[in-house]
Amino acid sequence: MVRSLRIGHRRHVLSDGVNSVGREPNSTVCINDPSVSRGHARITIEDGQATIEDLNSKNGTQVMGELLKAPRVLNDGDEVEFGHVKGWFIVEVDNDPPTTTHL
C-alpha cells in the first residue's frame, strides 16, 4: 500500500512511522504557506493505519471539515486542511497506476 497526501498538484508519499507536516524545509510534507505553522501536524503510519494529530498549530488542522482536538485515524479520500491549505489523504495499492484526476 502506498499512502500519500495530495496537495495541489503535488503528491507527498508517506512512509511508515512519523511523517511531519509544516513549513520547515526538512518536514516530510513541506507546505510553504503563511497559514501553516513550522511544525504544524504529524501523520503516523503504524500497523497499516494512518493517524493524524495537530501539534498546537496557530491555524489548526481539519479532517473532513472538523477541527482536530485529538489524534484521529485517516481514511482513504479524507480531505485534510492545514491552516488554509487543503489536501487529500490517498491510499493506493502498490500496482495501481498513479491517478491524474483531481478530487
pLDDT tens string 26-58: 999 999 999 999 999 999 999 999 999 999 999
- Are 29 and 49 spatial neighbours (Cβ–Cβ below 8 Å)? no
CA distances from 6 to 23, 58, 70 (A): 16, 22, 22
Name the grid cell of 54.
Answer: 495537530
pLDDT digits (tens, 9 = 90+) for 52-86: 999 999 999 999 999 999 999 999 999 999 999 99
Q: State whether residue 74 is helix, strand or coil.
A: strand
pLDDT of residue 53: 98
Q: Are 4 and 90 in contact (CB under 8 A)?
A: yes
26: left (phi over 0), alpha (psi -120 to 50) or beta: alpha
pTM score, whole prediction: 0.88
Distance between CA 103 and CA 93 in Å, rounded?
A: 18
Residue 90: its pLDDT value, please?
A: 97
How many whole angstroms separate alpha carbon 26 and alpha carbon 39?
10
